[in-house]
Amino acid sequence: MTVKPHLRLTPLALMLVLASGSTIAGTKTYTLDADFDLGTLIGLNHSAPNANQLQLNVTGTSFPVLWIANAGEDTLSKIDSKQQGGSPGREVARYRTWFNSGAYAHDAWSGPAPSRTAVDKDGNAYVLNRWFGGHPTVLKILNNSSVDRNGNGVVDTSVDTNADGKIQTAEMLPLVDDNANGLIDNSEPRDERVAWARRVPDGSYANGITRSNGIGRALCIGTDGHLWVGLYNNAEYFKISAVDGSTLAGPVSTNGRPNYGCLIDANGTLWGANWDQATLTRIANTGSNSGPHEVRSIPMPSAVYGLALRRDANNVTHVIMGGSCNSYVEHVDDGTDNWVRPAKANYCTYAVGTDNDGSILVSKRDGGVVKFDATGGVLWDKVSQVGSADSRGVIADSENAIWQVHRATHNMAKYSGSNGDFLGVIGVGYEPYTYSDASGTAALSITTKTGSWTVDHDGGVNGSAWGRVSWSAMMPSGTGLSAEVRSADDKAQLAGKPFQAVTSGAAFTGQSGRYLQVKMTFNANPQNQSPVLYDVTVTGAALGRCDADMDGDIDQNDLSLISRARGTPASGPNDPRDGDGDGRITPNDVKACLPKCTATSCAVR
């Protein structure tokens, strides 16, 4: 491991740096387990025997955050799902999804009534206001970035200011219809984690169509990162942009069958629930905006309500369906209209799910959870922690603990993933109603097998200039590994900065600040093989003359490059090997560069 948190500069080098208005950034290579542990791992590991490297988890994963829609008060709760002593988790923020929301306003089936959620690979949440009598509306809530609408350099957002683990009305920021047009315009959310809000369809796509009282009851993320929204009353789907919510495609008709939830598998196939007509909808080719989007309606033996997906050892999709009194119904994507009822214990259900190991979760309609193995065998079976209470969700968190959403009692109960032991109950908003993806399981483990490592590299000095990120990796065919960076003098300001994509070893500009945040994103191939990251090196910006290898310092390596090039013309006026600037590489350039070395005796750090 090579660390350069503080560089000792010669007086001449220091003078040059000060004249440029920036500071040389420290260089560090991350390659050992201890190095990687300085960052945050999502869906990755460095477990033996594959230590001192990063790869995707063999099993699935989720984010350590749950996003819970509170249908009775038009808000979205953000839950830190990590156990803290006797508390199963904490509500850390709550966001308004409509004007004047945030306290009891109506029941779960009137008004905006947010319900369906989806979480992308970066942990950002999308929530769909079903809107009984209005226009279905999707909002994007940023997980750890923001939109600085008022330009004050501070992230203005909902915070648990009194640290009691529950958000009060005063701890939410307003959402005000400033121009009284009945739409959420981009300038109107006061909470800067709210990126955008758009109607579906948005009124500017396909001859300006809108869908008043369409009732949005399906929301899912595709393999290309964009979203599909299913309307109940209009029996159709629209594809919308994850960037700004604009409508990209649709309507895709589901042949008169109302839509009640959806998920998209690794093949880009959408699976949709149809509660009223006991049908499973299959829509192909969702990655395309132009289609064709072939639609199949697969008859089921009972109503289809909640959905979950799992992949078997041959990467074949299995669709798990709630809505019956047989715990769940299962369909295998083999081109036929098959179905089975494999559960060895039968309960009436709405919500189903899968955990990070691929086990099947069933939320009993009036409370309690059952965990099944892939064959339908019971792993554990537990009663409700809150008495008889209408359940509208079952979710696995990042530690594979299981959460049950209770609409009638306005809270969530947590169970141990291994044996179902009771871990406690926390309150959320009024009438929580979330049985879709609330923790990112679909985006990280089903739709795309992905994960990330994020580290805040400390340059030691404000205004540090950054110039290069390099890495070594093994890349099986079809896998992906990408890097993004952003910088700030204050760690708290990083969330408000946009990421810049960078290429391994390539110089970049425009990043300065004490901290450089580096995010590495991993994507598996269809065979579930992972890229393997061996090391990441973060380097300051090139110093100009004498920094021949442009790695942010001047040392013996640079002098060697200059010496080997002696007797040749400079490549141009900015050739860093031309220490004296005379247009030729000569021994005089080595002499000119010696006083500029950034370490004693020009040592390589």
What was the pLDDT predicted at 43?
A: 86
DSSP code of 431?
S
Tell me how far apart the alpha carbons of residues 126 and 240 are, in angstroms, rounded to a whole number: 11
Q: Would you say residue 363 has pLDDT above 50? A: yes
Residue-wise pLDDT tens digits, 517-550: 999 999 988 778 899 999 999 988 766 788 888 7
Listed by start position, the domains of the chain span 27-56+451-540, 65-446, 556-602
pLDDT-based confidence at residue 34 (cuts at 50, 70, 90): very high
Residue range 27-56+451-540, CATH number: 2.60.120
Tell me how far apart the alpha carbons of residues 135 and 99 are, in angstroms, rounded to a whole number: 14
What's the chain's average pLDDT?
90
What is the average per-residue pLDDT within 55-79?
92
What was the pLDDT predicted at 539?
A: 86
Q: How far apart are the first and last CA of the chain?
A: 10
Taking a C-beta distance cutoff of 8 angstroms, is the pair 461, 514 a contact? Answer: yes
Q: Would you say residue 448 has pLDDT above 80? A: no
Tell me how far apart the alpha carbons of residues 84 and 580 are, in angstroms, rounded to a whole number: 61
Neighbours of 207 (CB within 10 A): 6
Q: Collect all residues with Cβ–Cβ distance below 8 Å to 532 and sequence separation of at least 6.
A: 50, 53, 54, 55, 473, 474
Q: Collect all residues with Cβ–Cβ distance below 8 Å to 228 and sequence separation of at least 6.
A: 218, 219, 220, 221, 222, 237, 238, 239, 240, 262, 264, 270, 283, 286
- Exposed / middle / buried, residue 385 (Cβ in 10 Å: 0-12, 13-18, 19+): buried
Q: Would you say residue 22 has pLDDT above 60? A: no
What was the pLDDT predicted at 17?
A: 37
What was the pLDDT predicted at 347?
A: 97
Are domains 27-56+451-540 and 65-446 of this chain identical in fold? no
**What b/e sequence results for 528-553 when a residue is b if at least 16 CB atoms lie within 10 Å of its CB, and e otherwise?**
ebbbbbebbbbbbbbbebbbbbbbbb
Choose among 586, 583, 543: nearest CA to 563. Answer: 586
pLDDT, greater one: 482 or 492: 482
What is the average per-residue pLDDT within 562-569?
93
At residue 590's C-alpha, the angle toward residues 587 and 594, to 5°, is 150
Q: DSSP 3-state assignment of 307? A: strand
* Kind of pairing between the strands at 464-474 and 450-458: unpaired
Taking a C-beta distance cutoff of 8 angstroms, is the pair 249, 218 a contact? Answer: no
What was the pLDDT predicted at 7?
A: 33
* Kind of pairing between the strands at 227-231 and 307-311: unpaired
What is the average per-residue pLDDT within 18-40?
74
Taking a C-beta distance cutoff of 8 angstroms, is the pair 213, 199 a contact? Answer: no
Q: Would you say residue 15 has pLDDT above 60? A: no
Structure tokens at 289: 């905006």
Q: Which of 184-188, 342-346, 446-450 has the highest mean pLDDT?
A: 342-346
Return the beta strands (E) in 407-463 as ranges.
411-415, 422-427, 450-458
Q: Give Cα 302 to chain centroid, integer Å.
A: 34
Structure tokens at 53: 């490297």
DSSP code of 38?
T
What was the pLDDT predicted at 14?
A: 33
What was the pLDDT predicted at 150?
A: 93
Torsion-angle region of residue 400: left (phi > 0), alpha (psi -120 to 50) or beta? left
Q: What's the Cα-to-Cα distance from 586 to each of 13, 354, 566, 580, rounded to whole Å?
A: 21, 67, 5, 9
Taking a C-beta distance cutoff of 8 angstroms, is the pair 406, 389 a contact? Answer: yes
What was the pLDDT predicted at 605?
A: 64
Taking a C-beta distance cutoff of 8 angstroms, is the pair 351, 393 a contact? Answer: yes
What was the pLDDT predicted at 601?
A: 80
Q: DSSP 3-state assignment of 445? A: helix
Residue-wise pLDDT tens digits, 240-289: 999 999 999 999 999 999 999 999 999 999 999 998 899 999 999 999 99
Residue range 65-446, CATH number: 2.120.10.30
pTM over 0.85: no
pLDDT-based confidence at residue 26 (cuts at 50, 70, 90): low
Residue-wise pLDDT tens digits, 113-171: 999 999 999 999 999 999 999 999 999 999 989 999 999 989 999 999 999 999 999 99
Residue percentage of the chain with pLDDT more than 90 = 73
Taking a C-beta distance cutoff of 8 angstroms, is the pair 267, 317 a contact? Answer: yes
- Exposed / middle / buried, residue 386 (Cβ in 10 Å: 0-12, 13-18, 19+): middle
What is the average per-residue pLDDT within 172-181?
95
What is the average per-residue pLDDT within 349-356?
94
Q: DSSP 3-state assignment of 211? A: coil
pLDDT, greater one: 60 or 188: 188
Structure tokens at 163: 């640290």
